[in-house]
Each structure stands twice: as structure tokens, then as C-alpha cells.
């Protein structure tokens, strides 16, 4: 998996407490924003994807049709390790063991790219998980079931 050692330190001050579930989308700077994976990072990112369901997203990213997004997962100090999966639209990531070492996870955008908004879900069992978007998302508790969701936005543009 891609590991970004500085991710936690770089965005520690940008944590949003709790999940955003209002269903509202807008363009404010404080809205959780997904970042695009650079084309040069695709080959390395493939290791974080589900090989059975991500082929089309990878092909589209390599062909500069639609980029892939990424998030960084890390647990808060003192929280027990846990395992989660990220749902982005119909895509479900492989299980990720969340530790104090930040892990960069690639994923397809959760809605058609031109729309500029969608919903991410985190499911599994973990406590004190931070998912770094811009700003970050602090998920206090995930315990199976439906998990937690957050509305996210992005700016559609030419991916290459």
C-alpha cells in the first residue's frame, strides 16, 4: 500500500468531528474534497484496489478519461487497530487494517465524475479513524452495520 508518512502531520489541524450526512452539496471551501490521483501514481496505487472490481476505473484513469481519487486512513493515537472498507458508489475497497501509520488508498469517484459530488462510506469495525480528505473526517466509531457516510465534492477537470 502507498504509505504517506507526513499525511497525518500535514492535515492534523483540519479534522472535522463526526460524519456529514445532511445530503447537502455545495461549493464551500470547508466541504470535504476528494483529491485526484496523479496519472504517474496509478501503477503504485493498483495495490490498494480490489482487483476484481476496479479494472474499468484503472483503465479509464490510464486512458485519461476519468481520474481516480484517493484518501489517507490513520487511527488516532491510543485507539485500537481496526479493519475498515471504503465504499465509493458501487465500488468497495479491500479490507484495510487501520493503524497509526497513514495509508493512502486509491478509489474510483463515488458518483459520475462530471457531477462533482458523491458520498463515501466507511464500513467495518474500528475506533478513532481519521480519513484525510480536505479537510479530514474523524470517525469516532465504526461497528459494522451501515457504517458512516460523508458527502464529498471534487472539481471535474481534464485528468491528464
Q: Is residue 102 part of a domain?
A: yes
For 93, the grid coordinates are 475497497
pLDDT tens column, 61-106: 999 899 999 999 999 888 888 899 999 999 999 999 999 999 999 9
Q: Is residue 159 part of a domain?
A: no
Structural domain containing residue 132: 2-153
Q: Is residue 61 part of a domain?
A: yes
Q: Is residue 142 part of a domain?
A: yes
Confidence label for 9 from pLDDT (cuts 50, 70 and 90):
very low
Q: How many angstroms from the chain centroid is the CA of residue 152?
A: 10
Q: Is residue 56 part of a domain?
A: yes
* pLDDT at residue 56 greater than cutoff 70: yes
Domain tally for the chain? 1
Residue whose C-alpha is closest to residue 35's, from 98, 106, 100: 106
Q: Is residue 108 part of a domain?
A: yes
For 85, the grid coordinates are 472498507
Residue 96, classed as helix, strand or coil, is strand
For 77, the grid coordinates are 493515537
d(CA 17, CA 86): 18
* End-to-end Cα spacing for the chain: 23
Q: Is residue 18 part of a domain?
A: yes
Q: Is residue 158 part of a domain?
A: no
Read off the pTM: 0.76
Amino acid at each position: 500500500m502507498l504509505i504517506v508518512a507526513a499525511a497525518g502531520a500535514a492535515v492534523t489541524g483540519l479534522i472535522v468531528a463526526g460524519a456529514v450526512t445532511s445530503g447537502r452539496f455545495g461549493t464551500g471551501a470547508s466541504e470535504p474534497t476528494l483529491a485526484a490521483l496523479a496519472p504517474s501514481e496509478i501503477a503504485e496505487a493498483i495495490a490498494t484496489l480490489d482487483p476484481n472490481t476496479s479494472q474499468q476505473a484503472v483503465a479509464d484513469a490510464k486512458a485519461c478519461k476519468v481520474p481516480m481519487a484517493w484518501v489517507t486512513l490513520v487511527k488516532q493515537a491510543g485507539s485500537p487497530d481496526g479493519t475498515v472498507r471504503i465504499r465509493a458508489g458501487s465500488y468497495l475497497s479491500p479490507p484495510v487494517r487501520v493503524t497509526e501509520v497513514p495509508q493512502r488508498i486509491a478509489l474510483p469517484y463515488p458518483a459520475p465524475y462530471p457531477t462533482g459530488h458523491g458520498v463515501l462510506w466507511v464500513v467495518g469495525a474500528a475506533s478513532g479513524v481519521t480519513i484525510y480528505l480536505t479537510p479530514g473526517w474523524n470517525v469516532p466509531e465504526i461497528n459494522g452495520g451501515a457504517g458512516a457516510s460523508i458527502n464529498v465534492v471534487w472539481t471535474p477537470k481534464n485528468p491528464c
